[in-house]
Amino acid sequence: MNDQQRMTTFREQLQQTDGLDERRFARLMQALDRDGKPAGYDERGRLRVAMYDAKSYDIASFEQQNQGRLAIRPIEASLGESTVDAAEGCTVACLFVNDRCDAAVVAGLAARGVKLVALRCAGFNNVDLAACEQHELDVVRVPAYSPYAVAEHTVALMLMLNRHLHLAYQRNRAGYFVLEGLTGFDMRGKTVGVVGGGKIGRCTIDILLGLGCRVLVFDPQPCEELAARDGVAYSELDTLLRESDIITLHLPLFPETHYLIDAAAIARMKRGVMLINTSRGGLVDTRALIDGLKSGQIGYAGLDVYEEEAGIFFHDVSGKVLSDDVLARLLTFNNVVITSHQAFLTREALSNIAETTLANIAEHQAGRRGAQLTNAVRSPR
């Protein structure tokens, strides 16, 4: 029951009341379902937060940072129309990357008393911002947690694919200690195209320069400091695709970046190129990627994200039939490594995510709204 419904019930019962004795007052307070506390707070006066898609590592990091200040309700399930009821009585819905917060879900959250959508991630493509504004729900995010975590995972995928470490591990576990088919290449001197020169992209570049790579960067907003570094050059996307031995993606997912890597883009790449995506699954047309792998145009692919990962990544589906034919096909290639959106998963990143998310909630609790919130996300006008 949200505040509006409580008030309607209150007025209906008040109209039926001739006098307000102790018994009638108690009945009215029960109808309001408030127990003397503002809606959205628990019996100890703590703000209620519904944390969706909550895993053990999320709960541990938030408990450490929260110190009992907020009443956090961990919900293992992802947010969607079927799980929106779990936010009943909460002022905040805390979401992660694969929680669905479309117009119908936003309306459901608002009807249950939610006032703030607190994303514990940087991306917000899964949230209908216009619907949130319509229902007067503020949206905040964690714009940066540990760019080093994602950058290091990115380069780890490059090295694993290059040196066939996944295959060597599997062979050795089976007692097959042979080296045929495991030949890699020196990273030194290779050209790596970094698509997106933000914080994660720049951290990735730092590591690549340490390996002796030549780096091409594509970004609509060049950074003068980065451009001045030895071994780094900004280029147009077509040049980057054409000249790079390795291409790594570090862009947010917007309509203009959706399927940035499609069949046409793949056709312009060097034959045998390595493609890495630790950003957003929708940047890559997966069916086009599969065609590129089958033809040999794509020599290696390292993916920490997948465009249809919701409902699969972060879940144990080992006892089920994998109904996603595209993902199942990807898993058959021995030159593809897929990790389940774990690039962020370091102790430092989890701590930063919890700290920033709780600070975002505290700002809202203190009365800040809309653009007053440090990490607010607003729909484009």
> What is the bridge-based pairing of β-strands 214-218 and 273-277?
unpaired
> What is the bridge-based pairing of β-strands 92-95 and 48-51?
parallel
In the set 141, 309, 363, 364, the catalytic residue is 309
Cβ-proximal residues to 58 (8 Å cutoff; 6+ apart), any chain? 51, 74, 96, 120, 350, 354
For the stretch 223-227, contacts whose Cβ atoms lie closer than 8 Å and that sit 24 or more positions apart, written own/partner, are 223/197, 226/197, 226/202
In the set 280, 307, 363, 364, the catalytic residue is 280
DSSP secondary structure code for residue 238 in this structure: H
Reduced 3-state DSSP string for 276-292: EECCCHHHECHHHHHHH
Catalytic residue status for 280: yes
How far is the C-alpha of 212 from the C-alpha of 53, rounded, in Å?
40
- Any bridge partners for residue 301, and if so which? 275, 336
Catalytic residue status for 309: yes
- Contact (Cβ atoms closer than 8 angstroms) between residue 218 and residue 205: no
Catalytic residue status for 63: no
Q: Backbone phi, then psi, for 288, in 5-degree steps?
A: -65, -35
How far is the C-alpha of 296 from the C-alpha of 292, rounded, in Å?
6
In the set 100, 202, 250, 341, the catalytic residue is 341
Task: Return the active site residues.
Answer: 280, 309, 341
